[in-house]
Amino acid sequence: MFSGAAFILWIALPILAWVFRRRFSFVGRNTWLVYIVTVIASSLLFVGAVWLVDAELEHALYKFDLDGDRSFSDFEMTPEAEEAMRRFTTDTGRSFALIVAAPVTFVWVSLWFLALSAGSWVIARLRGSSNENQAEEGGCQ
């Protein structure tokens, strides 16, 4: 549950940082500072989300440990316990989260910042040409 929310926040964090960058007076118009902080925060959020997934899978597995010794005897190995054990032990992606987090986040944040920057540039150009057209129309009258 919390891991899903953390991954959704990881997806949305570059957009949120871009939108709210003007609200932080110490940043000003320095987009690079926002970019660097967003990459670092998103990387940490990615690792934290993976850690939460690991904790949730481990909790789901050890619900089937009836005697609490953190090992499974034959009578504890139900089909549900086997499925929980398979889900906990076969996800190698969680093992590589520390290695993968920074490059994946760097690419993700870079793509969003480039797209949002291009969109802002296009909007500024459209507003500029709209203001020029209004000035020309006003000057002709």
Q: What is the pLDDT of residues 42-95, one digit of tens each?
A: 999 999 888 888 888 877 777 777 666 766 666 677 777 777 777 777 776 777
Mean pLDDT score, 110-121: 92
CB 116 within 8 A of CB 15: yes
Torsion of CA 19, 24, 26, 28, to 10 degrees: 40
Rounded to an integer, what distance in angstroms lies between the CA atom of residue 35 and that of residue 16?
Answer: 11
pLDDT in the model for residue 22: 73
pLDDT in the model for residue 115: 94
Share of the chain above pLDDT 90, in %: 26
pLDDT in the model for residue 54: 84
CB count within 10 Å of CB 16 equals 11
